[in-house]
A and B are shown apart, each in its own frame.
Chain A
Amino acid sequence: MDKSEKKILIIVAVVFLVLIAVAAVAVAIWRTSKGSSFEPPAFDTSAIVGTPQNIDEHSAYGELKLPISNGRCTVSMAALPTCTENQLNLLLASASDNSVYVRVIIYNADEVKLGSSGLLCPGEYVSSVALTDTVESGSTLRVKILTYEPDTYYSLGSTGATITVR
């Protein structure tokens, strides 16, 4: 190789290095912006204003009080819900005096996500939450209850509860 070829190789190597560095920085910036971006969950389209009626007495329906940053958040649901055609009849309700949005995520015993509700405003409830998989009677599920600050969607605390499918 003569000097001119060596020079060309050096220039090409430098250009390629710059190209790689630019690509790496661009990807890093893109990933950072992607990582920090947050898509607020949608409000539950099946939410009904009010409280669940005609509650099955065997569903162990009860209240959960979450200590959150600016007070308390009360959520009601069935601890022994039934499941019909992949619909978990959780009867999830957000108390009307809550000041936060509420949402639940359902996991199986292996911590695999099975489904989630949309956001519930204070005073709303949903009869059921759709699951991606069939759950058998007697299955134990974990319900993660998330609270969202209405304006910012910041977390105000979360808690978990274990339920058993009848």
Chain B
Amino acid sequence: MNNEKVVVVLLLVTIILSILSVVVTLAVPRGEAASDNTTVVQTGDPDGTASVQFTIGQSPTAGAG
């Protein structure tokens, strides 16, 4: 093998290794720190009602009340 062919082979090896380096680098998954932004939505019940009641009956000796 003459010198020219050796040079060509070496350059091809260089190119292949460079391509492999790029491929390996790109193949590594890019790590991303976990980022959770969770909102807990809770609905409240800010109202309450109560009833007050009574009945005014007819007095045996008078009218209303």
A complexed with B: no
